[in-house]
């Protein structure tokens, strides 16, 4: 079958799920949903109260709702996911000139948060099943390049300290987080979970389901406009460590000491807190989270039915003992020839966008971006074989309910 016919076959199968947009509509990759929620009501209540910044009841209500849903002991709401990760890394003790290990497949903000602290991103390969940081590759890399000096883990190739590891739950699919935590513990490295895409994703541990972000010392969430719930812009830190939670709240509120009227600050902090207006939207969004995940599971099954049996494609499934929120449902092109993969991929992306159906290639691996090309890295065989194969499909929970067919 020619590349053109393969692309047409894939697109025809996608259209059976999404429908074909009319001339006045567009099927986005992951669209926010506010209609038929309490968002307008709660925002008005926030405005009427006068507490529209980071003080007032709505931020506390939102944090409590996140805690209840994730079963975390502490939640600190901040103004975006990048800020949350930067703050988490700071709390983990990352200092300028120290290396932080991360996978190359993530949104660039994962590496940027490290750079904002003066840290050095250090890339270790992914695994194919869930696209997350590979625990085997991590252990091999640390064994090969590290030595302990004065209680610190030192990269013998660079002379720099390795300060932390940041696994990413890519597209909402849980990484092999228990295996990664074992490696981190063996090398005495703090683990900060980038769960920006994974609100509503769980890992089964023995007889209980644990939310992503709660196995490492700290986890972070994002509520950007394209996430499963949104506050317009926002993020949060999750932790079961009371001391870290107190420190996070203090630093994210300009390190201001509590007092009824006086302004005293005891260290350099940040103005990172989530405004009340955004938190009010978040409270309304969280009320809909469980139903959205159910809608997305139905959507995933529709894609699996239409695309799973095609000769040249694979829909990425949630691993055993994992529940994914299916934030971005992902298609893998399975042809062996690299030229053929690129031709089919480009043809599929071009035709889908002409139709008004937004497919998206996976992010360009971070280690290939100009500002990160010279960063330390292990062998990256899997990511360099995988990234051109991966295409994100329209994954909004409301797709099936508003399916529109062009006449």
Active site members: 227
Exposure of 241 in the CB half-sphere (CA atoms within 13 A)? 17
Phi then psi dihedrals of residue 133, to 5 deg? -55, 130
CA distance linking residue 311 with residue 176, whole number of Å:
28
List, in order, residues 6 or more apart from 206 with CB less than 8 Å away. Answer: none
E-assigned strand segments in 276-329 = 313-315, 322-323
Q: Are 315 and 98 in contact (CB under 8 A)?
A: no
Q: Are 7 and 344 in contact (CB under 8 A)?
A: yes
Q: Is the dihedral of CA 34, 249, 80, 241 positive or negative?
A: negative
Token digits for 385? Answer: 């074989």
CA distance linking residue 2 with residue 186, whole number of Å:
50
Q: Report which DSSP code applies to 268.
A: -
CA distance linking residue 343 with residue 346, whole number of Å:
5
Phi then psi dihedrals of residue 187, to 5 deg? -105, 10
CA distance linking residue 14 with residue 11, whole number of Å:
5
């Amino acid at each position: 079958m020619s590349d053109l016919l393969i692309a047409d076959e894939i697109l025809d199968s996608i259209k059976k799920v999404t429908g074909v947009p009319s001339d006045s509509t567009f099927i986005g990759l992951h669209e926010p949903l506010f209609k038929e929620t309490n968002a307008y009501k709660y925002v008005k209540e926030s405005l009427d109260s006068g507490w529209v910044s980071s003080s007032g009841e709505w931020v506390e209500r939102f944090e409590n709702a996140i805690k209840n849903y994730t079963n975390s002991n502490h939640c600190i709401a901040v103004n975006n996911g990048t800020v949350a990760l930067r703050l988490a890394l700071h709390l983990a003790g990352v200092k300028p000139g120290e290396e932080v290990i991360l996978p190359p497949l993530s949104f660039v903000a994962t590496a940027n948060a490290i750079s904002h602290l003066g840290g050095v991103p250090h890339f270790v390969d992914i695994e194919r099943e869930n696209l997350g940081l590979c625990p085997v590759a991590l252990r091999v890399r640390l064994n090969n390049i590290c030595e302990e000096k004065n209680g610190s883990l030192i990269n013998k190739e660079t002379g720099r300290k390795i300060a932390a590891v940041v696994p990413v739950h890519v597209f909402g699919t849980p990484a092999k987080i228990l295996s990664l935590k074992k490696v981190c513990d063996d090398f005495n490295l703090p683990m900060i979970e980038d769960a920006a895409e994974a609100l509503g994703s769980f890992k089964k541990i023995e007889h209980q389901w644990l939310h992503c972000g709660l196995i490492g010392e700290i986890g972070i969430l994002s509520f950007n406009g394209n996430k499963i719930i949104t506050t317009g812009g926002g993020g949060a830190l999750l932790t079961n460590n009371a001391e870290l939670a107190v420190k996070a709240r203090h630093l994210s509120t300009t390190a201001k000491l509590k007092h009824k009227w006086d302004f005293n600050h005891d260290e350099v902090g940040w103005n990172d807190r989530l405004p009340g207006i955004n938190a009010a939207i978040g409270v309304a969004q969280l009320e809909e989270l469980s139903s959205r995940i159910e809608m997305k599971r139905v959507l995933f099954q529709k894609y699996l039915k239409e695309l799973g049996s095609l000769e040249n494609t694979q829909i990425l499934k949630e691993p055993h003992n994992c529940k994914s929120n299916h934030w971005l449902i992902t298609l893998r092109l399975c042809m062996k020839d690299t030229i053929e993969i690129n031709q089919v991929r480009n043809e599929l992306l071009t035709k889908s966008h002409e139709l008004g159906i937004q497919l998206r290639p996976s992010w360009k691996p971070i280690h290939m971006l100009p500002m990160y090309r010279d960063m330390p890295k292990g062998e990256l065989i899997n990511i360099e074989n995988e990234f051109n194969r991966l295409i994100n499909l329209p994954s909004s929970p409301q797709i099936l309910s508003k399916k529109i067919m062009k006449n």
